[in-house]
Structure 1
Amino acid sequence: MKLIPFLTATIVLALFVSCTSKKKEQTSSEKNEVLVHPLAFPGGTETSLPHLFSNTEQTILSWVKRINDSVTQLNYSYLKDGKWEQPKEIITGKDWFVNWADYPTITENNGNLLAHYLKKSSKETFAYDIKLNVLPQDVSKWQTQKVLHTDNTKTEHGFVTALPYQEDSFFITWLDGRNTMPDTADAHAGHVGTMALRAAKVSTEGIVSEEVLLDPKTCSCCQTTAAITANGPIVLYRDRTDEEIRDIAITRRVDGKWTTPKFIHKDGWEINGCPVNGPKVDAIDNNIVVAWFTAVNGEPKVQLIFSENGGEDFLEPILISKKETLGRVDVEMLNPDTAIVSWMETIAKTTYLKAMKVTKNGLQSTPISISVLGDSRNTGFPQMERVGDKMYFAWTSHDAKISSIKTAYVALNLF
């Protein structure tokens, strides 16, 4: 007797929920268009591998431009009055190693600039060196192709992180493959050495000093990341144990000495190859935040973790994204208790660059979709930097197989 009214009510309710969901979806889409403000990029097409750097004085974007099949150019632009200035050239050359995950960087310290790129050292596919380029303050011409490492081995060197350090220098860390070249005895046994993590200090003239081995065995092709805390520099990276556990590790320079590396959290990710998905860190004094990707038991996820004592200990990790996440993270601290994290995620076969605010107590804002992206390697690793009261983003877009860089910003108070 009551079946028909019940079915009718159910159908009406379903239609109401459907319409409400569509309305919410539309409102969310419209809101997102208001939140994300595109910013014109002056570098044109055939551009990729953006890197954002920002401090209280300058905001700089560097990128690679493909001139033709054999010639590549490294350019940069300053952000001024909310717009990118016309591009400036650092260096143009041949025989560069241009890789989707191992991109050039640029950094500034008191008016002095330092940038790097990778140049092949032989015809072997994975044999290339890190070339430093410096532009001291009040000098008009870049000093290019400075030598970072002096081992002269035809092996891999890359995944650089460079930061302004002290008053007149830069801190640099990188993955170094000099020990991966087998000697005669090892070659007969089929053994080669491992990728290592190194660091050094570089002057504004490009002079390298205080080079140090931080870890003799690391994952071979995940990005490094570093920050300068009140205690000194810290470096985070994907480590590699003899059991092929490849979790994120930290080493810290405290009282002039580097600590023994240790995991920031024991994920226990056992994998027999490199996932090409490194961590990102940011710091305010001795308050630290780290974002990273892991996929233990085939379950991918992005996690965030805070430290209140310079990385000596960490709080419990906070889950940011799972299921279809691609990682490729970035993170920026807003204050000692709060950070904004970005990552790539695929939903219903569409990949997005997303960002949201997270507190160390685990409170999370509604994620903002910054842009739709391709999920291939060509998209590279999106960049994020805080500039005043805005968060800026840069990424590589592909339209009809033509690459170009896109930039945008979101006001911090909208997260």
Structure 2
Amino acid sequence: MFTLLTIISCTTKEVFIEDIPFLYGDNNAQPNLVSSNGTLSLSWISSKNENRASLHFSQFKKGKWIKPQKIANGSDWFVNWADFPAHAINDDLIITSYLKKSASGTYTYDVILNLQKLSGEKIKEDFLLNTDGVKAEHGFVSIIPNNNKGFFITWLDGRNTVEKKLDGHHKPMTIRFAEITNTGEVINESELDAAACDCCQTSIAMTNNGPIVVYRDRSENEVRDIYTIRNINGVWEEPNPLHNDGWIINGCPVNGPKVAANSTNLAIVWFTVVNDNPLVNVSFSKTNGDSFGTPFKLNDHGAIGRVDVAFLNNEEVIVSYMEVDEIGTYLRIKKVSANGKISKPITISKIDGGRSTGVPQLEIINNEIFIVWTISVDGINQLKSIKLNSKNI
């Protein structure tokens, strides 16, 4: 059953938020929430201790999370609040990712994939995405379905970081792309950008022309702005800055962008810092990502980021983000129109601003907004899932 909560947001109206019980144990974290053809699915990691982890998957049916399937488990995984597993559904197929250590180094791990039917029938188990064989960092995976032909996948790849440049510094992370067939073959792999930010989440969406990948770039001068790169009829264009924020930072902010697509329309939300002011911005495109409009600032207080976005209709999106004021840290949402109309914020929850919260996940199904994030109860991680009607915003 749902538990009804009444929350008075920063607006003057009451917003009803329904708590969706998550009844599948404790020690759960790293959620990844996905909508596909009117259905909702969730993957997460359960880890009772640092030496044992398992990847699980559930679907939302008849108002509840159904009994989960265990996809994989192991004692040699890399489990991290920011670099969480990804999954995607295509017809009756589901593909999932997790990270497996390849050596004793802290950041030496590979991306492992599992492909199966929703019924649980295995198609291909525990196969490598990155086949470079280099003991380095590989992760921050994003996956979407490729019509009925399998999946598109993108990730950050550290195969070049083991090499040093002439100045003695290690080469940067790259961002790569591949296709996964319905039988689990990794094909058409390519490098999209030879220098990407080290540990910011990637994002990918499907336009009418092909996939678009969104990520945080890294220049030689340590400018770490958001870039996009499009595949047009099978050919990758050159990477382009989404907006010239000019954020110079000598280290990764661990705060990636998120893209959503609806026909020819796109919306990208991201965290940045301009003139020492942390911002959450959103920008729209009506041209399949060929160009984007002026960004709209969303945060009213100190932005933390950890953003997500989903289309409500052709012109409006819901954005989730974290921000902090003099009282505490909050998970909030706003409705934003492509013409720049922005709703007042709605507070979903007061939350922990640390790593234990992870990256909150947002999806919309039939005008219902679903959000999942990680909470800690007596030092034990649990998943918190809620929903609210978009008509209340």
TM-score (norm 1): 0.90
SS at match of 2:299: strand
Is 1:181–2:159 an aligned residue pair?
no
* Cα deviation code 1:230-287 (max 9, x no counterpart): 0100000000111111110000001221110010111110111110000000011221
| Aligned counterpart, 2:256 | 278
**C-alpha spacing 1:189/1:267, structure 2 compared with 1 (3 Å):** closer
In 2: Cα distance, 1:226 partner to 1:403 partner: 28
Is 1:339–2:339 an aligned residue pair?
no
In 2: Cα distance, 1:32 partner to 1:192 partner: 53
Residue 87 of structure 1: how far off its partner (Å): 1.8
| Aligned counterpart, 2:35 | 54
| Aligned counterpart, 2:377 | 399
| Aligned counterpart, 1:247 | 225
Letter of the 2:101 partner, please give it.
K
| Aligned counterpart, 1:170 | 151
| Aligned counterpart, 2:125 | 144
The answer to whether the Cα contact below 8 Å between 2:215 and 2:257 also exists between their aligned partners in 1 is yes
Letter of the 2:230 partner, please give it.
R
Residue 32 of structure 1: how far off its partner (Å): 7.7
| Aligned counterpart, 2:89 | 108
SS at match of 1:217: strand
Aligned residues: CA RMSD: 1.9
| Aligned counterpart, 1:410 | 388
**C-alpha spacing 1:250/1:151, structure 2 compared with 1 (3 Å):** same
| Aligned counterpart, 2:3 | none
Residue 48 of structure 1: how far off its partner (Å): 0.5
Residue 367 of structure 1: how far off its partner (Å): 1.2
Residue 69 of structure 1: how far off its partner (Å): 3.2
Residue 30 of structure 1: how far off its partner (Å): 11
| Aligned counterpart, 2:306 | 328
In 2: Cα distance, 1:306 partner to 1:29 partner: 25
| Aligned counterpart, 1:4 | none
The answer to whether the Cα contact below 8 Å between 1:354 and 1:367 also exists between their aligned partners in 2 is yes
**C-alpha spacing 1:225/1:89, structure 2 compared with 1 (3 Å):** same
In 2: Cα distance, 1:29 partner to 1:309 partner: 34
The answer to whether the Cα contact below 8 Å between 2:137 and 2:159 also exists between their aligned partners in 1 is yes
In 2: Cα distance, 1:224 partner to 1:274 partner: 13
| Aligned counterpart, 1:79 | 60
SS at match of 1:100: coil
Pairing of 1:252-267 with structure 2 (within 5 A): 252-267=230-245
* Cα deviation code 1:74-133 (max 9, x no counterpart): 011110011111121111111100011000012100110100000000001010000001
Residue 335 of structure 1: how far off its partner (Å): 2.2
Residue 372 of structure 1: how far off its partner (Å): 1.5
Identity score, percent: 41
- Specify which structure has the higher proportion of strand: 2
Pairing of 1:7-406 with structure 2 (within 5 A): 28=9, 34-136=15-117, 140-141=121-122, 143-182=124-163, 190-406=168-384
Unmatched 5+ stretches in structure 2: 1-5
Moved more, 114-123 or 87-96: 87-96
Residue 352 of structure 1: how far off its partner (Å): 1.1
The answer to whether the Cα contact below 8 Å between 1:299 and 1:323 also exists between their aligned partners in 2 is no
Unmatched 5+ stretches in structure 1: 1-24
Letter of the 2:37 partner, please give it.
T
Residue 347 of structure 1: how far off its partner (Å): 2.3
In 2: Cα distance, 1:189 partner to 1:364 partner: 47
The answer to whether the Cα contact below 8 Å between 1:300 and 1:322 also exists between their aligned partners in 2 is no
Residue 34 of structure 1: how far off its partner (Å): 4.6
In 1: Cα distance, 2:349 partner to 2:119 partner: 38
Letter of the 1:75 partner, please give it.
H
In 2: Cα distance, 1:387 partner to 1:224 partner: 23
- Which consecutive segments of 4 or more residues in structure 1 shift more than 6 A? 29-33
SS at match of 1:313: coil
**C-alpha spacing 1:33/1:404, structure 2 compared with 1 (3 Å):** farther
**C-alpha spacing 1:167/1:189, structure 2 compared with 1 (3 Å):** same
Residue 409 of structure 1: how far off its partner (Å): 0.4
Moved more, 322-331 or 354-363: 322-331
The structure with more radius of gyration: 1
